[in-house]
Structure 1
Amino acid sequence: MKLAAVTDEISIDPHAAVYIGVKQFGIRHYELRMMPDGRVPDISEQTVDRLVGLKEKYGISYSAISAGLFKCEPIAEKMEHELRVRLEACIALAKRLDVSLITGFALIDHHRHRPAELFERAVPYFQQACERLAEVQMTFAVETEFMSGCETAAEARRMIERTGPRLKVNWDPANAWIAGELPLEGYVHVCGHLANVHVKDADTRDWRSRNPFVPLGDGKVPWQPVLDVLTRDRTAPMLTVETHVEPLIPNTEKGVSVLRKMLQNAEAGRDLSC
């Protein structure tokens, strides 16, 4: 499995993020999300040129366009904009940067919990997005996110069954844990459909009262057993550190270190079981 980091979980400045990530953390793969002038793909041509230059200067790759595609309320005009405008912008950016994965969400409502409704509204749009991306040899992956139509891995698997096998999963066990799903129970639903795994930790499911996320290793998400099965099965092409805790640089550095240690433990356990 390859290790990646979300650029703005190190710095909003992509050059600073990549420099620190390569020199200090030893990370060679980066998921693109927030830039100084907006969220990808809604960025300037100057920023795109900077991203191209960073690839050449540091010998890195970009693992995903984290556009937050369909992370909107189920309003027809907004969903059509995501499908007809932002998806095409994602494709154009992905071609420039040699990226094959675009991630998104099964709609969102931060005020009213209605996952079943959001799920149903997302299905036809996901079908069209997957068909369009297949035309350009790219993949769409839905992220597990509380207050969306795919809060858990079980719901993501059901979305695949409705949408088709072209849809993949950007599995975030911490998000699904906040939504009430135990990671190992969720894994069985998505183990053959993973495009990426977001790695972060949480210590509470009470996400409305405060930030539930904590530095990796300080929370309650059972990451070691998750990494044990991922190492055993080799089902996750990428593990992406998504810190979500200030201050970003030291907490991302800690997250990368803890993740590498847990992966070493997983490999050692795998060797002993052979």
Structure 2
Amino acid sequence: MKKSRFFIMILSVLLIITTLSGCTLLDSAEVKLNIKNQYFDYMSQNKVDKIIIQNVRDSGFRFIINDSKAIDDVYKLLSKGSEVSKKSSLDPDYIFEVWIGDEVKKYQYVVGANESGTGNFYDDDKAFSVSKNLENTIMQNLSVIRKPRDFEYVYYQSILKVINNKKDSISSGKVGVDISNDTDCLKYMFSIDLQEFKKNLNKILPNVDLVKNNSEQFDTVIKVKNRGFNTTTFKTLITVENKSDKSLENYYISAEYNYKDWDITVSEPNQMPQDW
């Protein structure tokens, strides 16, 4: 009986050792195959006090993660990122600050970027291609502040409609689209969407670009300002300033959600609809 118990105990110890060794070998293999990294292991050691996530375009939109489980969830997503040799060419959408006592580690994050061989989560030294699941953390917080329905479509499509209507009269000079002061919508703008928007702009006009504190370099400046939204309506004021003839036109955009689609209406210049 004693021999049997001793034998069972030895088997149990061997099984535990084998299991632990297997996990270690598996982790090591994943690191070597670059489907896992150890760069963020410090986050799994209960040393992180909080993670602050700051929107780059909207300084007023930031949130703090200080729950240990939530921090561990972020760590698990980051640890599965593949290390790559270069960073994304797109502008970052968020800054991550990882606080460890008085020490702060800063990373930049590009939402939705999937350029081959580039990292969408990086610091000065290393870049990683991380799963889109990391976006869920941010999206959950965006839903709390009521992100407009189909924002990416309604917002950019409204601007494209105005430019398409005006292209014949502004095509001779440089055209700038200024969305930098649309404070109600900055938090919803991501570099990957802006990249697609610029492509669509250039299909209409080859000489159009986004304004980045350089409005003086454009002959025509198109300014965009949201004027309110809910789940079924979206209103935008678009101002077209033509410097060559010193004209200024206001266009009132009304978008209504009907049967799984949006109806986007552009007013006549300087004629605000009665129900706007």
**Shorter-chain TM-score tier:** under 0.3
Instruction: State which structure, 1 or 2, has the greater radius of gyration over its C-alpha atoms.
Output: 2
Q: Normalization by structure 2: what TM-score?
A: 0.22
Q: Normalization by structure 1: what TM-score?
A: 0.22
Normalized per residue, the structure richer in helix is: 1
Normalized per residue, the structure richer in strand is: 2
